[in-house]
């Protein structure tokens, strides 16, 4: 039931791109993406709702393929501040915003 995130870890140089994937075995209503820096609380990035939309926030964007029950997070021209652990949280419906989080993808951006 927990969504599967891949890869588990990524190391980038500043300016490089990365894609983080989130896959569920169940039908999804929405997918949330959060970033957590070491010792801090998770911070919301974006929500994607059923409908296959793509969203963007600065140089971070995401897509949601409800038929495949998958979402991808795209990080372009990465900055040092992008370092952290990225979690997807999946919602299966029911109206209560109950999220099941993946195990996370650790991203390290180096100069």
Positions in 17-36 near other proteins (CB under 8 A) = 30, 32, 34
Contact between 83 and 102 under an 8 Å Cβ cutoff? The reply is: no
| Site for other proteins contains 9 (CB under 8 A) | no
| Site for other proteins contains 67 (CB under 8 A) | no
| Residue 50 C-alpha from the chain's centroid | 15
Positions in 35-54 near other proteins (CB under 8 A) = 40-44, 47
Please state, as a whole number, how many other Cβ atoms lie within 10 Å of the Cβ of residue 20: 22
End-to-end CA distance of the chain: 37
The residues that touch other proteins, with contacts defined as CB under 8 A, are 2, 30, 32, 34, 40-44, 47, 87, 89, 95-104
């Amino acid at each position: 039931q927990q969504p599967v995130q891949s890869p588990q870890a990524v190391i980038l140089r500043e300016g490089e791109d990365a894609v983080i994937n989130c896959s569920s075995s169940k039908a999804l209503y929405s997918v949330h993406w959060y970033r957590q820096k070491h010792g801090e609380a998770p911070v919301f990035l974006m929500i994607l709702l059923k409908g296959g939309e793509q969203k963007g926030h600065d140089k971070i964007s995401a897509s949601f393929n409800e038929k495949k029950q998958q979402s991808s997070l795209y990080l372009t021209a990465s900055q040092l501040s992008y370092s952290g652990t990225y979690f997807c949280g999946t919602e299966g419906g029911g109206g209560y915003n109950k999220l099941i989080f993946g195990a996370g993808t650790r991203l390290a951006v180096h100069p």
